[in-house]
Amino acid sequence: MSHDNVDIQKIAHLARLELTPEEREKLGPQFQKIVEYIDHLGTLNTENVEPTSHVLPLQNVLREDEVVARFPEADYLRLAPRAAKGHYEVPKIIS
């Protein structure tokens, strides 16, 4: 696919950019090179490349569950501004 002239206005609109005429003039050649590079990527042979959704092959990167000492629940309730029957009391926000 050949792009003789990149539509800078269209690219700017898609990228939600407001460009001045000077910026359009300056960015035109740069956009042209970017589009040519993307076209080049489309020509590469990726037949033996496994599809991936991440750059690094990470799976299930989770820490082990460990039981650790913590404050007794009664201490947390004691520190709350209001508590009753083992629960925190908060102002009613839905009627």
> What average pLDDT is seen over the chain?
86
Mean pLDDT within 54-78: 85
Number of domain units in the chain: 1
Q: For position 79, what pLDDT does the model report?
A: 92
> Looking at beta carbons, which pairs linking 15-21 to residues 24 or more positions away fall under 8 Å?
none
pTM: 0.46
Q: Is 49 a domain residue?
A: no
24: closest CA among 12, 39, 40? Answer: 12
Percent of the chain with pLDDT over 70: 95
Q: Is 37 a domain residue?
A: yes
Q: Is 53 a domain residue?
A: no
Please tell me the distance from the alpha carbon of residue 75 to that of residue 95, in angstroms, as a whole number: 31
Q: Is 94 a domain residue?
A: no
Q: For position 82, what pLDDT does the model report?
A: 93
**Phi and psi dihedrals of 83, rounded to 5?**
-150, 150
Residue 87 pLDDT grade (very low, low, confident, very high; cuts 50, 70, 90): very high
Q: Is 34 a domain residue?
A: yes
Q: Is 58 a domain residue?
A: no
Q: Is 57 a domain residue?
A: no
Mean pLDDT within 70-92: 90
**Domain around 15:** 8-43
At residue 84, the 3 state secondary structure works out as strand
